Amino acid sequence: MEKKKGQVTIFIIIGILIIVLGILIYAFYPQIKTTFGFEADNPSAFIQECLEEKIVNDLDMLSLQGGSLEPEHYILYENEKVEYLCYTNEYYKTCVVQQPMLKNHIEAEIKESIQERVTECFDNLEKNYLGKNYGVELREGGVEIELLPKRVIVTSNRSLILTKDGTEIYDSFEVIVHNNIYELVSVANSILKWETNLGDSETTTYMNYYHDLKVEKKKQTDGSTVYILTDRNNGNKFQFASRSIAWPPGYGTDNIVTTSE
Amino acid sequence: MFLGIFLIGIVSAIGEVSYCCEKTIGGAWCQNALEEQCSIEIDPFTNTPYKKVPASCEATSYCKLGTCISEGDCMENTPERRCDKELGGYWEGKDADEIPQCKLGCCLIGDQAAFVTQTRCKKLSAVYGLQTNFRTDLTNELVCIASTMSDVKGACVYEEDFSKTCQFITKKECSELNAGNGTEFYEGVLCSAETLGTDCGPSKETTCVDGRDEVFFTDSCGNLANIYDSSKINDKEYWTNVYGGGESCNPFSSNANSVSCGNCDYYLGSTCKDYKLAGKKATYGNNICKDLSCKYEGENYEHGETWCADSNGVSKSLPGSRYFRLVCYNGEVSVEPCADFRQETCIQSDIDGFKTAACRVNMWQDCSAQEEEKDCENIDRRDCEWKEGKCVPSNAPGFNFWETGGDAESICSIASRTCVIKYEKKLGGDKECVENCECLDASWEERQNEVCISVGDCGEKPNYLGYKGF
């Protein structure tokens, strides 16, 4: 009798473990979630849900790395590769702008990074509706990214026609991610203008203009400066590096220097 | 001073030909560097190797600097190659102030303003769905931001579900509500006004508004009312007409942590925040003027104050020591290091107890070239002082003396002094010092070491952590 009771207890424990495991997989693996479980009541919501996490992750990474997912020319700051947006390898000289179209560059980086995921999401969307006996007609289209005040909009120009009892037509899909990268990039551009002209910038000016903005300036030993811009309300960050009018140790007789190269 | 630095630059370059690398092996664009530092990769756009010529980048066509214009934003000091046409960039080989499209003006977008170009203003206005209002007569960013005038708001009264309700909005927004023929707008009147006879009335709730510093009352419908003032909670007049900040409680004061007044002012050191963040609750509502001042090492600093840190060894210019500026904003202190090797010093001023500091270039470079005390101590030109007949830096710079190729040895040798002492032999065989006898005194050596360590990281001294050199 006691043996039987013990077996029942084990089965209950195993059952609970399976349920917990199932919940964890469902919660932490969005790909599995979209393939098996996500209820596509609305194709727009499906695409938003499917793409949002990828875009948020990309934005986080771009923000810490000066606007590039794989920085080519960077300074290592607190284990992050922070890209130089303005740089000179010489002493006493103003920097050459390396990324003059920062906003467009970030948009292009996101576009390239999410291409695969966009295809995956639309494939899953199609499967999902086919599984529900819908007639699905999906037409190819490009992806556009736009950084805007307080948000990032990803527009997929794929069109979708669903037919079952009636017909539903979707010309394009918009994914909106709330993020302040547009504002932070604008401030970064303004700082870069100071860096190109004077080799420095005054952080308090920006904090006086924008009450919720925190601007940190960290001068490095090699003459580089890492700027960290933080929105105090939501913690959104953007950091980048510049090297302009660097001062050498002593007179700096070795005029041409190499840094991180 | 800069002539001296320039000459040093040229001399150092002798023997090593500098190239203009279109791209370096490290990925930087348009840099003057040694040939081996130029990238040998193929440029994917031209299918040819990246360019390099033994000349300064200023003299080349491929690295000529100009202005990149993109979406109305103008970025100077940009090589043409980096101004991507495919992404909508347009490059001009001029400075921004010579390009009409780069002329800045004041872009008024609703109740906000931005000091941008006309093209950018059009773009921003389109984003917000507003008409472009670009003013070229406002030529200063501060004046531009100060000129923002929000449209006058008032009570927009209309019928909804057979009852009279109200929204506190602008006249334009009210006309766009499409709430029927009975819609009426009362400029400068609050929705809580008893005379309007709506379902909105006074409440004890408060809110913070995006872009504003003050704590505002809200009425029972959630509309914005006047600035929070606990003494006016039952004042019908205060719940009827709109009052400005100057007419509200305790103006021209920060009202930080005041439980009764929500007339916060960011520039005076307070802003509206939830009481949980501020650590103190107001008499009514969940918001309060949060105190933005800082506490650092036992001392209080006002919001906006900046001061020089008392960092290790900097007063004695010890090797490794560095100047730092500290900044207090929004209740947080951030540390801004000045340039390393004491190439920048921190200067500070104090007006009525409010400290302002800045990192400033340490002008030590031409001290050793001064022969007159008057020239040496000309603080407009240099940061030097006269010591033992020599002109030495007031703030000794640091050197990378542990690296080969640095100039620590040559600079330190300036302070090197040889003293030849003459003796006369007396008849009895004794010697008597007759010339430069002061050099025999122990204090002479001390004084010379003083001069030596004033030149820079020279002579005998411990580092900023107190470790002795060898």
Q: How far apart are CA B266 and CA B289, in angstroms?
A: 9
What kind and span of H or E run contains B425? strand B422-425
In this complex, the residue of A89, A250, A252 whose CB is nearest that of residue B33 is A89
B75 Cβ under 8 Å from any chain A Cβ = yes
Query: Which of chain A's residues have a Cβ under 8 Å away from the Cβ of B39?
Result: none
Own/partner pairs for B35-38, CB < 8 Å, 24+ apart?
A: B37/A89, B37/A258, B37/A261
Q: Which residues pair with A161 in a beta bridge?
A: A137, A169
Query: Which of chain A's residues have a Cβ under 8 Å away from the Cβ of B16?
Result: 256
Q: How far apart are CA A149 and CA A95, in angstroms?
A: 28
Residue A6 has pLDDT above 50, yes or no: yes
**Tell me, what's the pLDDT at A254?**
54
Reduced to 3 states (helix: H, G, I; strand: E, B; else coil), residue B58 is helix
Of A93-107, A215-229, B339-353, B430-444, minimum mean pLDDT range? B430-444
CB contact under 8 A, A100 and B70: yes
- How far from chain centre, in Å, is Cα B53? 38
Shortest distance between the Cα of A140 and any Cα of chain B, in A, equals 22
Q: How far apart are CA B271 and CA B287, in angstroms?
A: 10
Residue A18 has pLDDT above 80, yes or no: no
Output the six-digit token pair for A75. Answer: 């300074």
Q: Do the beta carbons of residue B304 and residue B269 sit within 8 Å?
A: yes
CB contact under 8 A, A94 and B330: no
Q: Each residue of A59-91: b (16+ CB within 10 Å) or e?
A: beebbbbbbbeebebbbebeebbbbbbbbbbbb
For residues A153 and B132, which has the higher predicted lDDT (pLDDT)? A153
DSSP state at residue B214 = S
Q: Do the beta carbons of residue B141 and residue B107 sit within 8 Å?
A: no
Q: Which residues contact B170 (CB under 8 A, 6 or more apart)?
A: B150, B151, B152, B153, B154
Query: Which of chain B's residues have a Cβ under 8 Å away from the Cβ of A203?
Result: 327, 336
The full DSSP string for B304-333 is T-EEE---TTTTTT-TT---EEEEEETTEE
In this complex, the residue of A88, A209, A251 whose CB is nearest that of residue B31 is A88
Output the six-digit token pair for B247. Answer: 């007419």
Q: How far apart are CA B208 and CA B193, in angstroms?
A: 21
Query: Which of chain B's residues have a Cβ under 8 Å away from the Cβ of A254?
Result: 12, 405-406
Stated length of chain A: 261
Q: Which residues contact A68 (CB under 8 A, 6 or more apart)?
A: A62, A83, A99, A105, A109
In this complex, the residue of B4, B27, B128 whose CB is nearest that of residue A73 is B27
B343 Cβ under 8 Å from any chain A Cβ = yes
Shortest distance between the Cα of B155 and any Cα of chain A, in A, equals 28
How many helices and strands (H and E) does chain B possess?
Answer: 8, 30
In this complex, the residue of B127, B336, B343 whose CB is nearest that of residue A148 is B127
Average pLDDT across chain A, whole number: 88
Listed by number, the residues of chain B in 121-180 with a beta carbon closer than 8 Å to a beta carbon of chain A are 124, 127-128, 141, 145
- State the amino acid at position B61 in one-letter form: S
Give the start-end residues of each E strand in B17-64: 18-23, 29-34, 42-43, 48-49, 52-53
B24 Cβ under 8 Å from any chain A Cβ = yes
- How far from chain centre, in Å, is Cα A106? 9
Shortest distance between the Cα of B172 and any Cα of chain A, in A, equals 23
B90 Cβ under 8 Å from any chain A Cβ = no
B1 Cβ under 8 Å from any chain A Cβ = no
Query: Which of chain B's residues have a Cβ under 8 Å away from the Cβ of A193?
Result: 75-76
Shortest distance between the Cα of A231 and any Cα of chain B, in A, equals 12
Shortest distance between the Cα of A101 and any Cα of chain B, in A, equals 7
Residue whose pair of structure tokens reads 């209820």 in the numeric block = A39
Q: What is the bridge-based pairing of β-strands A237-243 and A80-87?
A: parallel
Q: Do the beta carbons of residue A175 and residue A154 sit within 8 Å?
A: yes
Q: Which residues contact A194 (CB under 8 A, 6 or more apart)?
A: A200, A201, A202
Residue spans per domain, chain A: 1-37, 52-105+112-133+177-243
Neighbours of B30 (CB within 10 A): 28
Q: How far apart are CA B118 and CA B100, in angstroms?
A: 10
CB contact under 8 A, B407 and A251: yes
**Tell me, what's the pLDDT at B387?**
87
Query: Which of chain A's residues have a Cβ under 8 Å away from the Cβ of B115?
Result: none
Q: Could you tell me which chain A residue has the CA closest to the CA of B30? A: A96
Shortest distance between the Cα of A39 and any Cα of chain B, in A, equals 33
Closest CA to B453 of B419, B408, B389, B420: B408
pLDDT digits (tens), chain B, 470 positions? 443 443 344 334 445 789 999 999 999 999 999 999 999 999 998 899 999 999 999 999 999 999 999 988 999 999 999 998 888 899 999 999 999 989 999 998 877 888 889 988 998 888 888 888 899 888 887 788 777 766 688 999 998 888 889 999 988 888 888 767 778 999 999 999 999 999 999 999 999 998 899 999 999 999 999 999 999 999 999 999 999 888 999 999 999 999 999 999 999 999 999 999 998 999 999 999 999 999 999 999 999 999 999 889 999 899 999 999 999 999 999 999 999 999 999 999 999 999 999 999 999 999 989 999 999 999 999 999 998 888 999 999 999 888 877 788 888 888 888 889 999 888 777 888 889 898 888 888 888 888 888 889 988 888 999 998 76
**Tell me, what's the pLDDT at A22?**
67
φ and ψ at residue B369, rounded to 5 degrees: -85, -5
CB contact under 8 A, B77 and A96: yes
- Nearest 5°: the CA angle B405, B409, B413 is 150
Query: Which of chain A's residues have a Cβ under 8 Å away from the Cβ of B306?
Result: 204
Q: Do the beta carbons of residue B308 and residue B323 sit within 8 Å?
A: yes
The percent of residues above 70 in pLDDT, for chain A, comes to 86
